[in-house]
């Protein structure tokens, strides 16, 4: 399984918001520059994150984006799912009706177990975990999110 750039960049976007959370709203332009991601692409990624209740928007000169909840209450699974859709490895895991062999297919059990492991793994990593790792890697360097 490969995650799309939407998920990879979405997690990076959320880490950036988590790292700047105490400083107030941050513009996508700031994140785009520091993460070397197209601002236009980030503006597309932020839409499902906002719709999922993970991000809040503020308008105006002091506007921008902030996390809607503390980073400790957001899991990586919550970020990936709105960007990727269902994170099951194969369609028949969540929807057995898509394959007439689902009931008799031995390999479906493997994909089901692997999908559950992936979902549990992503559900056990908080955004705060990644923000803390990010801060440790950046310690001693200029804070990119205080432009």
Residue 37 maps to which CATH number? Answer: 1.10.10.10
Strand 55-58 to 64-67 pairing: antiparallel
**pTM score of the predicted model:** 0.85
Per DSSP, the three-state class of 64 is: strand
The radius of gyration of the chain from alpha carbons, rounded to an integer in Å, stands at: 18
> For residue 101, is it within any domain?
no
- Residue 147 is assigned to a structural domain of this protein: no
Give how many domains the chain has, as a whole number. Answer: 1
Inside any domain, residue 143: no
Looking at 1-147, list the stretches that DSSP marks H as alpha helix, in order from N- to C-terminal side: 5-19, 28-35, 39-51, 76-84, 91-94, 106-123, 127-138
Structural domain boundaries, residue 60: 5-85+126-138
pLDDT of residue 137: 83
How far is it, in rounded angstroms, from Cα 10 to Cα 51?
A: 13
Instruction: Answer yes or no: is 22 within a domain.
Output: yes
pLDDT in tens, 33-75: 999 999 999 999 999 999 999 999 988 777 899 999 999 999 9
73-82, pLDDT tens digit by residue?
999 999 999 9
pLDDT of residue 139: 75
Instruction: Name residue, tokens 């390999």.
Output: 107
Phi, psi of 72 (to 5 degrees): -70, -20
d(CA 147, CA 145): 6
CB 13 within 8 A of CB 48: no
Nearest CA-CA partner of 15 in 51, 59, 45: 45
103 in any annotated domain:
no
For residue 13, being part of any structural domain is answered with: yes
């Amino acid at each position: 399984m490969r995650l799309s750039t939407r998920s990879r960049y979405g997690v990076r976007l959320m880490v950036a918001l988590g790292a700047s959370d105490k400083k107030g709203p941050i513009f996508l332009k700031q994140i785009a520059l520091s993460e070397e991601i197209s601002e236009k692409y980030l503006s597309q990624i932020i839409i499902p994150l906002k719709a999922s209740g993970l991000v809040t928007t503020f308008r105006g000169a002091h506007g921008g984006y902030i996390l809607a909840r503390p980073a400790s209450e957001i899991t990586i699974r919550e970020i990936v799912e709105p960007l990727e859709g269902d994170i099951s490895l194969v369609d028949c895991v969540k929807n057995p009706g898509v394959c007439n062999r689902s009931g008799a297919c031995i390999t479906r059990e493997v994909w089901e177990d692997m999908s559950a492991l992936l979902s549990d793994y992503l559900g056990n990593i908080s955004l705060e975990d990644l923000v803390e790792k990010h801060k440790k890697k950046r310690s001693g360097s200029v804070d990119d999110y205080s432009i």
